[in-house]
Amino acid sequence: MPGEARLNAVRTTAGTTAAIGRGPWTGQGAFVIPGCVSSSAIFPARDLLAWYDRHRRRLPWRAEPGRTADPYQVWLSEIMLQQTTVAAVIPYYENFVSRFPTVEALARADLDEVLSLWAGLGYYARARNLHACAKAVVARGSFPRDLAGLQELPGIGAYTAAAVASIGFGIPAVPVDGNVERVTSRLFALTEPLPGGKRGIHTAAGQLGHDPDAMARPSDFAQALFDLGASVCTPTSPGCALCPWMEPCAARRLGLAAELPRRAPKKARPERHGVHFWLTDRDGNVLLRRRPASGLLGGMVELPGTSWREGRWPEAESMVRAPMAVAWQPAGQVQHGFTHFQLTIDLFAAQVASIRGDGFVHPRARLNEVALPSVMRKCVLKVEE
Ligand code: SF4
């Protein structure tokens, strides 16, 4: 029957009975009936927190149990973790805090040094915003202690503000990252595909944080949700038998756990093409140049080359853009995926007695000192194969 909802009674671990329904009018497949019982009663925070107290991950930016996290370290780790895995971030994080142990030290640093330490982590606008944010924090004296104030800082959006507020300051807020999105979509069996389904997921995640036990331990509650998603409610094979919310979880009951969250089909990424030149001299130097300060990979260092465009570069056309008119040899091809396009770079190499051309000459043995983005590191590895 159109508009009909199917209700499933759910007995929670707290002994409460709630109603979870499925109905076509929500667009989200399944939902908790408003006003019937609060979601925090269905998913008791104390069950998750008890699990967290036994199974929490030890991470370099985390405070030991019973200690308060340093907001600087929380903020730094959260910016680094965007679009990247914990394993990839740890060495970068440790380098950063050892070089810049405080927000004041980071604010005093040259942007160039920040970009060099960031090189390889990708999404370089984050590094520029990180530096700008450190300066803004030092200028105002400290990190703001509220969500609105945090979101006024460069590079801090709703997610990072909620993470710093809850973990660094103990302010009740639920930061919704990919892990929390997955856990929440499953707990409530929210089937509307992402990205359209985000709003419903974020609302439901916020409700989880209204539990008085969650509000009493906002920092632990946020990190418990992260850890549940990272170690139990994993993308393809959720370990429901180990989950503190196994019993009330709607997706588990409906047999949907591994399917959620659903995602709208991705559009194919457009392709772009470029040509870059590896020009060395007999003294072991290489010609480099700096990209414009704003835009993609802004302020980073690269091998001289063409722009990146949709059509391929015929060799004769690309040679007009070479830094010197010399005998260039093909030196391989590199593929690199950016968020919005797939890039193919054709490489050419040449050696000359003395380098001339726009840019700057740098010893090739010390390329680790310059802010080469991942795509350029791939180019260097390719020409040196
Ligand atoms: Fe995820 Fe399974 Fe726990 Fe549900 S019961 S939250 S699907 S691990």
Indicate whether residue 245 lines ligand 1 (CB < 6 A): yes
* Ligand 1 centroid, distance to 66 Cα (angstroms): 27
Quote the CA–CA distance of 316 and 334 in Å, as a whole number: 20
* Ligand 1 centroid, distance to 110 Cα (angstroms): 45
Is it the case that residue 288 has pLDDT exceeding 70?
yes
Question: Where in the chain are all domains bearing CATH 1.10.340.30?
Answer: 3-259
Token reading at 207: 């409700």
Closest approach atom of ligand 1 to CA 260: 7
Closest protein CA for atom 2 of ligand 1: 240
Is it the case that residue 19 has pLDDT exceeding 50?
no
Closest approach atom of ligand 1 to CA 249: 4
Give yes or no: 317 in active site.
Answer: no
The residue to mutate among 52, 182, 249, having the most atoms of ligand 1 within 8 angstroms of its beta carbon, is: 249
Cite the beta strand spans of the chain per DSSP E: 6-11, 17-22, 30-32, 271-281, 285-290, 301-302, 329-337, 342-352, 360-363
pLDDT of residue 26: 37
Closest protein CA for atom 5 of ligand 1: 246
pLDDT tens-digit series, residues 33-88: 333 345 666 999 999 999 999 999 999 999 988 787 999 999 999 999 998 899 99
Token reading at 226: 């992260």
SS3 250: helix
Residues in contact with 328: Cβ distance below 8 Å, sequence separation at least 6, in sequence order = 277, 319, 322, 348, 349, 350
Query: What are the phi and psi torsion angles at 347 (to 5°)?
Result: -110, 145
**Structure confidence at residue 30 as a pLDDT band (50, 70, 90):** very low
pLDDT of residue 123: 83
pLDDT of residue 330: 96
Is it the case that residue 373 has pLDDT exceeding 70?
yes
Cβ–Cβ under 8 Å, residues 253 and 8: yes
**Structure confidence at residue 29 as a pLDDT band (50, 70, 90):** very low
What CATH superfamily is the domain 3-259? Hypothetical protein; domain 2 (1.10.340.30)
Token reading at 347: 């490489």
Closest approach atom of ligand 1 to CA 242: 8
Question: Where in the chain are all domains bearing CATH 3.90.79.10?
Answer: 271-383
pLDDT of residue 339: 85
Is it the case that residue 383 has pLDDT exceeding 70?
yes
Cite the beta strand spans of 292-370 per DSSP E: 301-302, 329-337, 342-352, 360-363
pLDDT tens-digit series, residues 132-164: 999 999 999 999 999 999 999 999 999 999 999
Quote the CA–CA distance of 334 and 348 in Å, as a whole number: 11
For 271-383, CATH number out of 3.90.79.10, 3.30.2270.10, 3.40.50.300, 3.30.559.30 equals 3.90.79.10
Which one is catalytic: 78, 181, 192, 302?
Answer: 78
Indicate whether residue 250 lines ligand 1 (CB < 6 A): no
